[in-house]
Amino acid sequence: MDKFFYFNIKIYYTRSDGVYISKKLINVNERKVFMEEKKKTLTGLQPTGVIHLGNYIGAIKQMVEYQDKYDSYIFVADLHSITVPQDKDTLSKKCRDLIALYLACGIDPNKNTIFIQSENLYHANLAWMLECNTYFGELSRMHQFKEKSKKNENFTVGLLTYPVLMAADILLYDTDYVPVGIDQKQHVEIARDIAIRFNNKFGQTFTVPEPIIKESGTKITDLVDPTKKMSKSSDNPKGVITLLDDLDVARKKIMGATTDSETVVRFDPENKPGISNLINIYVSLTGKTIKETEEEFEGCNYGTFKTKVADVVVELLKNIQEKYNQIVSSSELDKILDEGRNKTTEIAKAKFEKVKEKMGFKRN
């Protein structure tokens, strides 16, 4: 059994494995409760394209799990989105729709601080300060800059400097961890370099963030060409199920999914990629194992299996869409975004003023 030792305003206890843990003792509504300090995470969402089933299974479900473990900050990175031309008449709607969809998928506003990047001016302000402490060579070596600049000679300077804005996003909030895919790790690394350089030059100012490399969520592939990852840029819309697809259309996409000449529901990604993809979808949405799924559909034909997969997908989409439609036009969404803006602006202003003072921007 764990043993507790009370001391001052903190409580220390030893777990059965001998590790000492410290928790703050605080007062809420005149009742003493224990609350372990959580590490901060920050996630930026691009308000472009559509959210599909692969995104939900591979990333959003993991975000929902993180919200119980970390002090989570989630923002719509609309300033980042304008490195490529955006329609000014639809950009704000995309931001609102995106947040509403994530909320409908299970992101809890009571467990996350949610805001829109452009509503907090300190992101861009700090980015300029950090740009003046970042070198051209660092930015020109970024993988995404090299790849995208090769495709377009007339790219804007924003394509070169946006990693510094990303660093500002992270450093403003003393973020401990940044959940990223392996292809985004370099952006966290340059944020670390900028933070360390600034701290060495001006004194301790920023928390140096660490990347959390997202676990490989189940990879959902294209329903028409199961050798390719499900993607919003797919050549054939029948291969992609978006979270806002018409329910009948989504069902038809599952029923028309590419399979093979066998009639055995068996997980074999190399030889049966289509059926294996449908098994992955079914497993991810039901919580069953691959073995349990194979046993459940032993002796069944593909039509029967596809119908069951379609049932669970349609049920998921129905629930998400019902919540989305309730949220997207509600005053509650504005309240969530207002609260997020006010909270993060206060935090960001304090950090920015500290940076200004350390760099010499003050009256004598």
Would you state the pLDDT for residue 27? 42
- CA distances (Å), 262 to each of 213, 274, 275, 302, in order? 38, 11, 10, 9
- Please tell me whether residue 239 adopts helix, strand or coil conformation: helix
Report the CATH number that the domain containing residue 53 is assigned in CATH.
3.40.50.620
Whether residue 272 is found in the same domain as residue 348:
no
DSSP characters over 299-328:
T--HHHHHHHHHHHHHHHHHHHHHHHHHHH
Burial 69-102 (b: 16+ CB within 10 A, else e): ebbbbbbbbbbbbebeeeeeeebeebbbbbbbbb
Are 350 and 253 contained in the same domain?
no
- The catalytic site residues sit at 148, 229, 232
At 255, give phi and psi (nearest 5°): -65, -25
Q: How many domains does the chain have?
A: 3
Angle at 116 (CA atoms; ends 86, 84), nearest 5 degrees:
20
Task: Let me know if residue 231 belongs to a domain.
Answer: no
Domain holding 28, by residue range, is 3-35
Would you say residue 302 lies in a domain? yes
d(CA 271, CA 259): 10
Structure confidence at residue 287 (pLDDT) = 92
The structure's pTM equals 0.83
| Residues 170 and 52 both lie in one domain | yes
Tell me, yes or no, whether 104 and 187 share the same domain. yes
**What gap in Å lies between CA 96 and CA 334, rounded to an integer?**
9
* Pair (196, 241) in one structural domain: no
Whether residue 10 is contained in a domain is answered as yes
- Which CATH number fits the domain that encloses residue 297? 1.10.240.10
Q: Does residue 301 sit in the same domain as residue 346? A: no
Residues 118 and 256 grouped into a single domain? no
Instruction: Give the model's pLDDT for residue 109.
Output: 97
76 & 156 share domain: yes
Q: What is the pLDDT of residue 215?
A: 60
Biggest alpha carbon–alpha carbon distance for the chain = 83
186 and 205: one domain? yes
- Same domain? For 188 and 277 the reply is no
Same domain flag for 84 and 146: yes
- Residue 15 is predicted with a pLDDT of 39
Same domain for 78 and 104, yes or no, is: yes
pLDDT per residue as tens, the chain (364 positions): 444 333 333 333 333 333 333 344 444 443 334 446 789 999 999 897 789 999 999 889 888 988 999 999 999 999 999 888 889 889 999 999 999 999 999 999 999 999 999 999 999 999 999 999 999 988 888 877 777 777 776 778 888 899 999 999 999 999 999 988 777 788 899 999 999 999 999 999 999 999 988 665 578 999 999 999 898 888 899 999 999 999 999 999 999 999 999 999 999 999 999 999 999 999 999 999 999 999 999 999 999 999 999 999 999 999 999 999 999 989 999 999 999 999 999 999 999 999 999 999 988 7
Rounded to whole angstroms, the Cα distance separating 112 from 66 reads 10
Rounded to an integer, what distance in angstroms lies between the CA atom of residue 241 and that of residue 40? 33
CA dihedral 4, 39, 111, 42 (to 10 degrees): 180
Nearest to 159 by CA among 142, 174, 175: 142
